Amino acid sequence: MLSIQQLTSRALLLATVASAVPSVTVTAQPKASQTASQPQKMSENPLLQPYRTPHGTVPFNLIKNDHYLPALKEAIAQGKKEIDAIAGNTAKPTFENTIVALERAGEAVNKVTSVMFNLNSSETTPELQGIVREASPLLTEYSNDISLNEKLFARVKAVYEQRDKLKLDATDKMLLEKSYKGFARNGANLSEADKVKLREINKEMSQLSLKFGENVLNETNQFEMLITDEKELDGLPEFAREAARGAAKQKGKEGWLFTLQAPSYLPFMQYANNRELRKKLYLAYNSRGFQKNDNNNEQIIQRLVQLRYDRAKLLGYKTHADYMLEDRMAGSRDKVQQFLDEMLGYSKPVAEKQLADLTTYAKSQGFKAETLENWDFSYYAEKLKKERYSLDDEMLKPYFKLENVLDGIFTIANKLYGVTFKENKDIPVYNPEVRAFEVYDENGKFLAVFYGDYFPRAGKRAGAWMNGIRSQKIVNGEEVRPHVVNVCNFTRPTETKPSLLTFNEVTTLFHEFGHGLHGMLTKGKYSSLSGTSVAWDFVELPSQVMENWAYEPEALRLFAKHFQTGETIPQELIDKIRASQNFLAGIANVRQVKLGMIDMYWHSQQPTGESVADVEKKVDQKTALLPVPAGVATSPAFSHIFAGGYSSGYYSYKWSEVLDADAFEAFKEKGIFNKEVADKFRRNVLEKGGTEKPMELYKKFRGREPSPQAMLKRSGLVL
């Protein structure tokens, strides 16, 4: 997953950034002024000073919670002065004194928020949550003051109307186009009365999105299932038992503690013989935000959907989906719906056959009921997979020590793109578990700083994502190189074993690293067009294509070494990994389509006040394969679309799958480490950011538009 911060225009959409980063609250939120003393002097605030650290990295060791709000207020004041200077410039509007000046404005705001939001998602505290709540309306107001500034827009418009007469290169033309459209899409052409309405809508949306994320993560963190009778662990492999015992010990409890964090939840659902406990865990996970308590997200969803629709209508669009899809590859909600329907048409017949086979297998193992339930699916799927392929996580995990996988992915990046990674322990980090690396090109030139943060913590939201701490750009002829972070929630080391990853965690690591490469290898002039600042349905291409190397024997042999013996993973296991790659892929595809359809149902029509249950029931009529139990729903914990930036965009995962499968075919045709193909992908995709239209970039790499056949074939949906 990509952080919303990577995909928004820094100057015009700070309100969206502020609203989009999920967070976790464990107690009621006091105001920051009640919890933090203010620094006596601004000159003592590290967020406002030049960073005197290796490569200008963030001095996390010096930053305290009481630095954020004073720094942000000072930065906003400075940003407003910069905007006023552009808007009030009496000289004729030019590309340099208006468009480039606007691009450079607000650097101090970006500097503060990039740190604050990164920590709010990966190392939050109740105090920091309160600070972010107080900061959010300030950022919304600041963003609105820019996008609704008539004098500023008049200058931007004047330059835009002269665009055909200006001698601009392709990157400058794209910046001009995006700058103008950014204003138009954010209300610059509205009447004064409508501008007031838009300000209120933006402010409320930012607050609701924050609250949504807090509620989901409250429930994730609050649920615990403590087992004291070892018989109830029957079926669980040793790695899951050891992790659960360690979790209990950490909380000062006897027994085995299971939570809703993925490294705890998933193995229990896959292996535990106790069906009632699997059901208990499943219902807890899938009712997050849907229970009648303070964390309920149903009303937040209703209000967010209405506000998004109201904003779209105010700006001249039929629906929120029309607004969001205007500048994406898909282009329209009809195109997205057609794509999802087509994918469902390929996937569902395959999925139904796979489910029938799984049900028959379950009955052969003593399953008594007529139909599998959702809490049975992973359990019997894991058993069938082991029987069919003689493969399970317990067999694979010893070969995927986290440190070895990291070394392997660095080696793969070196073989493809000539880059090297060198750990630097002098770079400050925000948690002792975080590792920081310097990245160099094949000539020894510094490229980036890469942070890796891999284990679950109480202050970290669930999932995996890439975030940017500093963007790449060129200022006054000097290049500023990027700082990026990969944040994941992988299996922790235990008292007796290092962190040993499941294969799913391995592919997740490759995925997020693909986003990281997109951020680290970028080359451009403007931060708003660099790295992952691309069309939403193009941004998952670099991440998803990277997953392919995790399945390739030539790549696996570089890093898949037994953590005790050092033995390279045997070919027999590699063959099983590849043979099982499409195991129940039809079912997995239907689930992804379902999520995309839920997203589009909420956002591609006028809200009617339908309940969460009613909306999902309508989508389930098309997509459900198993009975949907009462009391569960997807939407109330669907942080991608309600607390992140994927509203009207979740389809992009499937869309990008078409791109990545087609792109990887180019590597397979000439060799997965072929330098010619890698250089072409780097030059036309990884380095280009959002400087050109994504389809044009793809065609420059591939020589043609993508074909869906590679994805359908790879997924086993067609022969």
pLDDT at 60: 97
pLDDT at residue 2, as a whole number: 59
User: Which domain-ending residue is among 561, 579, 597?
Assistant: 579
- Residue range 580-596: average pLDDT? 96
Per-residue pLDDT reduced to its tens digit, 615-641: 999 999 999 999 999 999 999 999 999
Instruction: Please give the average per-residue pLDDT across 588-609, as a whole number.
Output: 97
Q: Are residues 160 and 242 in the same domain?
A: no
Per DSSP, which regions of 131-245 are E strands?
Answer: 225-227
Q: How confident is the model at residue 458 (pLDDT cuts 50, 70, 90)?
A: confident
| pLDDT band at 25; cut points 50, 70, 90 | very low
**pLDDT tens-digit profile of 543-574?**
999 999 999 999 999 999 999 999 999 999 99
Please count the structural domains in the chain. 3
**CA–CA separation, 9 and 179 (whole Å):** 9
The amino acid present at 719, given as its one-letter code, is L
Domain shared by 238 and 206, yes or no: no
Indicate if the pLDDT at residue 390 is higher than 70.
yes
Residue 376 in domain: no
Within this chain, do residues 279 and 405 fall inside the same structural domain, yes or no?
no
User: What is the C-alpha separation between 538 and 555, in angstroms, rounded?
Assistant: 25
The pLDDT assigned to 697 comes to: 97
Residues 255-310 pLDDT 10s: 999 999 999 999 999 999 999 999 999 999 999 999 999 999 999 999 999 999 99
pLDDT band at 393 (very low <50, low <70, confident <90, very high): very high
Tokens of residue 356, six digits: 């029938």
Co-location of 453 and 483 in the same domain: yes
Comparing 37 with 22, the larger pLDDT belongs to 37
Asked whether residue 37 carries a pLDDT value surpassing 80, the answer given is no
pLDDT tens digit string along 147-187? 999 999 999 999 999 999 999 999 999 999 999 999 999 99
Instruction: Give the CB-side neighbour count of residue 448, counting CA atoms within 13 A.
Output: 24
pLDDT of residue 644: 86
Give yes or no for residue 462 having a pLDDT over 90: no
Looking only at Cα atoms, what is the longest distance across the chain?
82
Report pLDDT for 667: 97
231/198 same-domain check? no
Residue with tokens 């070919």: 571
In a domain, 639, yes or no: no
Please give the Cα distance from 448 to 57 (Å, whole number): 10
Burial class of residue 372 (count of CB atoms within 10 Å of its CB; 0-12, 13-18, 19+): buried
- The CATH number of the domain holding residue 552 is 1.10.1370.40
Q: Round to whole Å and give the CA distance between 500 and 257.
A: 19
Of the residues 127, 382, 512, 665, which is catalytic? 512
Task: Give SS3 for 178.
Answer: helix
Examine the fold and report which residue of 187, 212, 237 is the final residue of a domain before the chain moves on. Answer: 212
> 198 with 228, same domain?
no
* 229 and 88 co-located in one domain: no
Compare 498 and 28 and report the one with higher pLDDT.
498
Region 115-120 average pLDDT: 96
Q: Flag whether pLDDT at 126 surpasses 50.
A: yes
Structure confidence by residue, pLDDT tens digits, 236-254? 999 999 999 999 999 999 9
Answer whether residue 36 shows pLDDT above 80.
no
Q: What integer best gives the mean pLDDT of the chain?
A: 93
Query: Which string of DSSP letters, residue by residue, matches 696-719?
Result: HHHHHHHSS---THHHHHHTTS--
- 507: confidence class by pLDDT, cuts 50, 70, 90: very high
Distance CA 232, CA 271 (A): 11
CA dist., res. 545 & res. 509, Å (int): 12
**Which residue segment(s) compose the domain that 57 sits in?**
4-212
Whether residues 276 and 420 fall in one domain: no
Q: Measure the N-to-C terminal CA separation of the chain; round to a whole number of Å.
A: 30
The reply to whether 540 belongs to the active site is no
Q: Which pLDDT value is given to residue 685? A: 98
* 635 within domain boundaries: no
Q: Is the dihedral of CA 7, 97, 161, 106 positive or negative?
A: positive
Task: Residue 705: count other Cβ atoms within 10 Å of its Cβ.
Answer: 10
579, 605, 639 - which closes a domain? 579
Within a domain: residue 668? no
Q: What is the pLDDT, as a whole number, of residue 32?
A: 33
Is the domain of 412 the same as that of 460?
Answer: yes
- Together in a domain, 503 and 407: yes
Give burial (CB, 10 Å; 0-12/13-18/19+) of 411. Answer: middle
* Sign of the four-CA dihedral 60, 63, 68, 71: negative
Asked whether residue 700 is assigned to any structural domain, the reply reads no
Mind giving me the DSSP string for 611-678? -HHHHHHHHHHHH--S---TT--SGGG-HHHHTSS-TTTTTHHHHHHHHHHHHHHHHHHH-TT-HHHH
Mean pLDDT, range 24-51, rounded to an integer: 55
- Tell me the C-alpha distance between 376 and 378, whole Å: 6
Please provide the DSSP assignment of 51-92 as one string.
--SGGG---TTT--HHHHHHHHHHHHHHHHHHHHHHHT--SP
Q: Is residue 483 part of a domain?
A: yes
Please report whether residue 294 resides in a domain.
no
Whether 660 is covered by a domain: the verdict is: no
Residue-level pLDDT at 43: 74
- Same structural domain, 184 and 270: no
Do 440 and 509 belong together in one domain?
yes
The tokens for 701 are 């790499």
